[in-house]
């Protein structure tokens, strides 16, 4: 080559700028997409935390382990049936309560528990409580009776379930 000849650069300078612009655009869009994904993922978790906070303030208790209070067996006279014969119920059950505090309240008031149960059970007839459906209904009535406050204007007890451990009708 001769010194006075000029070497021309290939015509492609404009395409390099176009590639740089495209790469910058892809990076901006990718960063925006990643930022949006982070916002929606973390924003939803933060919103759930904020939703849970008012529920706790409104008085909902955290789930606690249920406690069980056994009630000593006792025997009651049932109401006479159609045949007019005397029938007896010997029953024992365990109460499922909301927690340790409720367990203590029920134990401290066991005399009231037993009195309420004697009054309720002695008003029943054998035919009413002899079937599985009758026992389920009886359990609901026991829960209703024992949820009533033990003290005047006191809070209701958290009786959750009645679990029969012995149930004999004679």
Contact 67, 94 (CB under 8 A): no
| Domain containing residue 31 | 14-60
| 149 and 88 within one domain | yes
Q: What is the CA radius of gyration of the chain?
A: 38
Residue 71 forms part of a structural domain? yes
| 81 and 45 within one domain | no
Residue 44 pLDDT greater than 60, yes or no: no
Residue 8 forms part of a structural domain? no
Mean pLDDT over each residue of the chain, to the nearest integer: 81
Model pLDDT, residue 12 = 55
| 158 and 96 within one domain | yes
Residue 5 forms part of a structural domain? no
CA nearest neighbour of 91 among 121, 69, 115, 125? 121
| 82 and 148 within one domain | yes
Count: domains in the chain:
2
Residue 6 forms part of a structural domain? no
| 125 and 48 within one domain | no
| 162 and 91 within one domain | yes
**Cα(51)–Cα(46) distance, integer angstroms:** 9
CATH number of the CATH domain containing 160:
3.30.479.30
Residue 76 pLDDT greater than 80, yes or no: yes
| 132 and 79 within one domain | yes
pLDDT mean over 116-135: 92
| 77 and 41 within one domain | no
| 98 and 29 within one domain | no
CA nearest neighbour of 73 among 85, 61, 88? 88
Contact 96, 68 (CB under 8 A): yes
| 89 and 19 within one domain | no
Residue 140 pLDDT greater than 90, yes or no: yes
Q: Provide the pLDDT confidence category of residue 129 given band limits of 50, 70 and 90.
A: very high
């Amino acid at each position: 080559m001769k010194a006075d000849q000029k070497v021309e650069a290939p015509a492609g300078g404009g395409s390099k700028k176009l590639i740089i612009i495209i790469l910058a655009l892809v990076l901006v869009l990718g960063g925006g997409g990643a930022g949006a994904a982070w916002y929606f993922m973390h924003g939803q978790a933060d919103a759930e935390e904020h939703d849970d906070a008012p529920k706790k303030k409104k008085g909902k208790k955290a789930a606690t382990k249920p406690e069980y209070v056994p009630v000593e067996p006792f025997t009651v006279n049932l109401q006479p049936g159609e045949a007019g014969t005397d029938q007896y119920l010997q029953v024992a059950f365990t109460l499922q309560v909301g927690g340790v505090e409720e367990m203590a309240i029920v134990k401290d008031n066991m005399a009231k528990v037993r009195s309420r149960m004697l009054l309720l059970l002695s008003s029943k007839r054998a035919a009413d409580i002899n079937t599985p459906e009758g026992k389920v209904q009886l359990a609901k009535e026991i829960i209703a009776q024992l949820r009533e406050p033990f003290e005047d204007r006191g809070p209701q007890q958290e009786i959750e379930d009645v679990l029969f451990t012995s149930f004999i009708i004679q």
